[in-house]
Structure 1
């Protein structure tokens, strides 16, 4: 089984996605779409802007979403694989929801832009900060946070990232106090490149406003299980449940380690990180050695990704269609009808399959639809009952994992 994982804020850098859009037109189209939806040149900010501007929460969030969705679309176009699970870290959860079909890309862009503005406004003047803490037990970090935290200057764990890393989040006064106490106990401290204190009580007003904003958008049924940051379990596939958990995500910790352990329990043995840098790939190695994780950000990464993902490729669609056509019992002995309704359509698709194989590519949706039309012609000519025809087509879509691509064509 395979999972797609999406990084969150802090992994951004100027230039991210440059080689991807040079290589893949679908990535360039995604960047252009983001510019159009947001009404400003996000791609220029990502590719050649100032790091200080890119790090601003309202910019970083749509930028990271855009890069992750570009990669997701490239993988879909190149391999047509549907992952068994999707999950993202903090902002990355929106990338997972978008990749999984729950949110439209244009809606997700508007949501994360608004989310970033709300988060930024919630903690003004840089008073909210976050720091990664390693080399000390999470239980000890929790103790110190509770000891230091006050109503006006809260501090708490914002992310449970792994057995040897948590992130503390809150008012800078209290975060600095916790840092000083834990450094004396041997903790390794790494301030994060974020501009607010995410996943902390300081986000309460922002979470309320986000909930109101989310009510303006449609949440569709997911194409596969998407793990919630809050629970470490799959989302319940209902709009109100998505909104409830996304609201809670702003003030509650990201249960990343719990999420990865859930994947392990479910038999996931491979994961691909879709986004900038390798933060989640590195965390995976610290949580479990049983899930092999690789990152995909640049075209050069495609070869290693292909080595993993080919194990999950469904049977070749055209080959499977041709096999079904041959295996279908004939009940029509009119030679002319058989030749025009079976032989000619079959030969056309077989020739197409050979061409695609020589070109070393996957068939397009239109080419797969031609194969379905061939099957429908074969079924009619061989006098297959309507119910059996539907069952055969459904079997083809299920086995080749193409229901999400072709349902619209055969409805």
Structure 2
């Protein structure tokens, strides 16, 4: 089984996506689409802007979403694979919802832009910070946070990333005090490149406003299970639950380690990180060494992705159609009918398959419809009952992952 994972804030950098859009038109179109939806030149900011501006949460969030979406579209174009699970870290959860079909890209862009503005507004005085903590037990970090935190100056764990890394989040004064105590215990401290204290009580007002904003959007059925940061479990696919948990995600910690352990328990052995850098891939080794994770951001990453993903590619449509035709039991011994209804249509599709293979491309919708017509002719000639014919064709669409392309053409 395979999962797609999506990074969150802190992984942005100027130049992100450059190599991808230089090679893939669909990636460039995604960047242009983001500009049009947001009403400003996000792509220029991503490709050649200033790092402090890109890091501002209202910019970093749509930027990372755009890159992850562009990468997913390239993957879909190249391989047409549906992952078994989708999960993202913090902001990356919105990328998962977008790629999984729960949110339209245009809607997701507007939501994360608003989310970033709300988060920034929640800490107007700039006293909200986040720091990654390693080389010390998470339970000990939690104890120290509770000792230091107050209602006025809160600090708490914002992310449970791995057995040896958590992230503390909250008021700058309290975070600094916790850092001092952790340093005495030889913890490794890394301030994060973020502009607000995410996943902390300081985000409560922002969470309330986000919930109200989310009510304006449609949440659709997910193409694959999507893991919630809050629970470490799949969403139930009820629209109200998406809104409820995305609100809670603002003030509660990201349960990333729990999420990875869940997909591992379900049989996931491979993950692809869709987006900038390789933060989540690097974390994977400290959570589950037997999950093989690789990052995909640049065209040169594609060879590694291909070697992993080949085993998950759906059967080739034309060849699968030919195999079904051959495997269908014959109940018609009229040679003339058999020749015109089975042999000739079969030979036509076989020649078509050879042409497609020779040209090293995927079959077009029109060519796939020729294969379906062949199967319908074979089924009729071999005297297969109509309900069974429908079942077999629906199964063909399912196993080849072409339902979204062909369902509308089949009565």
The answer as to whether partners of 1:79 and 1:362 remain within 8 angstroms in 2 is no
Q: Match of 2:61?
A: 61
Which structure 1 segments of 5+ residues have no match? none
Q: Match of 1:8?
A: 8
Q: TM-score normalised to the size of structure 1?
A: 0.96
The answer as to whether partners of 1:160 and 1:256 remain within 8 angstroms in 2 is yes
Deviation at 1:333, TM superposition (A): 6.1
Deviation at 1:366, TM superposition (A): 4.3
Matches within 5 A, 1:252-271: 252-271=252-271
Q: Match of 2:165?
A: 165
The answer as to whether partners of 1:78 and 1:362 remain within 8 angstroms in 2 is no
Q: Distance in 1 between matches of 2:129 and 2:63?
A: 21
Q: Any idea what SS the aligned residue of 2:186 has?
A: coil
Deviation at 1:101, TM superposition (A): 1.1
Q: Distance in 1 between matches of 2:214 and 2:77?
A: 30
Deviation at 1:52, TM superposition (A): 1.2
Q: Match of 1:151?
A: 151
Q: Match of 1:188?
A: 188
The answer as to whether partners of 1:85 and 1:225 remain within 8 angstroms in 2 is yes
Deviation at 1:48, TM superposition (A): 0.9
Q: Any idea what SS the aligned residue of 1:113 has?
A: helix
Q: Match of 2:235?
A: 235
Matches within 5 A, 1:9-408: 9-331=9-331, 341-408=341-408
Q: Distance in 2 between matches of 1:400 and 1:119?
A: 42
Q: Distance in 2 between matches of 1:3 and 1:341?
A: 43
Q: Any idea what SS the aligned residue of 1:20 has?
A: helix
Q: Any idea what SS the aligned residue of 2:285 has?
A: helix
Q: Distance in 1 between matches of 2:313 and 2:194?
A: 38
Q: TM-score normalised to the size of structure 2?
A: 0.96
The answer as to whether partners of 1:101 and 1:222 remain within 8 angstroms in 2 is yes
Cα RMSD (Å) of the superposition?
Answer: 1.7
Q: Distance in 1 between matches of 2:168 and 2:25?
A: 40
Q: Distance in 1 between matches of 2:250 and 2:235?
A: 16
* Greater Cα shift, 188-197 or 341-350: 341-350
Change (3 A) 1:44 1:141: same
* Greater Cα shift, 361-370 or 294-303: 361-370
The answer as to whether partners of 1:6 and 1:87 remain within 8 angstroms in 2 is yes
Deviation at 1:98, TM superposition (A): 0.9
* Greater Cα shift, 345-354 or 315-324: 345-354
Deviation at 1:346, TM superposition (A): 2.7
Q: Distance in 2 between matches of 1:29 and 1:340?
A: 46
Q: Distance in 2 between matches of 1:192 and 1:348?
A: 60
Q: Distance in 2 between matches of 1:8 and 1:317?
A: 36
Q: Any idea what SS the aligned residue of 2:251 has?
A: coil
Q: Deviations over 1:256-289 (max 9, x none)?
A: 0000111111111111100000000000011111
Q: Distance in 2 between matches of 1:89 and 1:211?
A: 19
* Greater Cα shift, 162-171 or 369-378: 369-378
Change (3 A) 1:369 1:95: farther
Deviation at 1:365, TM superposition (A): 4.2
Q: Distance in 2 between matches of 1:329 and 1:55?
A: 63
Deviation at 1:344, TM superposition (A): 4.1
Q: Any idea what SS the aligned residue of 2:133 has?
A: strand
Q: Distance in 1 between matches of 2:199 and 2:320?
A: 48
Change (3 A) 1:379 1:251: same
Q: Any idea what SS the aligned residue of 1:125 has?
A: coil
Q: Distance in 2 between matches of 1:124 and 1:269?
A: 43
Q: Distance in 2 between matches of 1:211 and 1:286?
A: 34
